[in-house]
Chains A and B, each alone.
Chain A
């Protein structure tokens, strides 16, 4: 839908996901998959808590935080009291509800989303430093993860005209 004829289309996006809540991970996955669908070369780089999104044990158990989230509301729009959010099971319940809503919009689970992205040629990477920090090994990661990279190697991939780095 580009209106300016002088604009050059985006050729490559490199996205960094450093957080592991549902909304942070899905922001990366939706934007990444969207880029692949538009024919844009796409590389996703997961680091720190974002590693949960590509760790086999955690990837399909992501939560959204019910504490300290001022945008959180009850169904119907009433404010969601933070004190309620600390009760056992509330975060899990809210997270399950969110996932249900997303499923209705045909948003897949995290592992299926990763497969969709790589099916279209997108590439998925993990951050070496964060892996060392969380004592994770390559075997702990989903099969669709192409490699474990240092930040230097990530930047080497981010060259070229029409490339953008996006931090979600």
Chain B
């Protein structure tokens, strides 16, 4: 675990860069983390991030299939938004833990 200042806020990160406490998350932090992954966040990105955070809050396991069925974006679109890590990068940017599912 390490402490880091992102968007003028002190946050705790895991060794892989995921927020330890999802409640520390805000949009500015998301924009900063996304920049590190080379992603410019659009409104559609934020819709996906909100969905991920809500699903995580309700205690459900996240899969790309769930995002694909969310009505926000299909799986192909999800890959376009978060290239090379549709669930990994999106979870990191959404401030929730590293995905624990295999699908």
Question: Contact string, A126-165, partner B, CB cutoff 8 A, digits 1/0?
Answer: 0000000000000000000000000000000000000000
B76: A residues at CB distance < 8 A: 119-120
Closest to A121 in B: B79
A38: B residues at CB distance < 8 A: 84-85, 88
Is A30 in contact with B102, judged by CB distance below 8 angstroms? yes
Of B63, B66, B103, which is in contact with the most chain A CB atoms at under 10 Å from its CB? Answer: B103
User: Mostly helix, strand, loop or mixed at chain B's interface?
Assistant: loop
Interface-located stretch among A82-90, A91-99, A103-111: A103-111
A30 to B64, CA, bound (A): 12
B70 vs chain A, min Cβ distance (A): 13
Q: Which of B64-90 contact A (CB under 8 A)?
A: 64-66, 68, 74-76, 79, 83-88
Q: Is A72 interfacial (CB-CB < 8 Å)?
A: no
Chain B's interface size range is: 20 to 34
Q: Is B101 interfacial (CB-CB < 8 Å)?
A: yes
B4 vs chain A, min Cβ distance (A): 20
B85: A residues at CB distance < 8 A: 37-39
Q: Is B26 interfacial (CB-CB < 8 Å)?
A: no
B66 vs chain A, min Cβ distance (A): 6
Closest to A108 in B: B65
A37 to B61, CA, bound (A): 16
A34: B residues at CB distance < 8 A: 102-103
Q: Is B43 interfacial (CB-CB < 8 Å)?
A: no
B75 vs chain A, min Cβ distance (A): 4
Is B75 in contact with A120, judged by CB distance below 8 angstroms? yes
B16: A residues at CB distance < 8 A: 1
Is B64 in contact with A37, judged by CB distance below 8 angstroms? yes
A80 to B49, CA, bound (A): 45
A90 to B102, CA, bound (A): 29
Is B75 in contact with A119, judged by CB distance below 8 angstroms? yes
Q: Which of B14-47 contact A (CB under 8 A)?
A: 16
A159 to B10, CA, bound (A): 45
A49 to B55, CA, bound (A): 38
Is A119 in contact with B103, judged by CB distance below 8 angstroms? no
A157 to B23, CA, bound (A): 46
Question: Contact string, A39-78, partner B, CB cutoff 8 A, digits 1/0?
Answer: 1000000000000000000000000000000000000000
Closest to A113 in B: B103
A164 to B101, CA, bound (A): 23
Chain B residues packing against A (C-beta within 8 Å): 16, 61, 63-66, 68, 74-76, 79, 83-88, 101-103
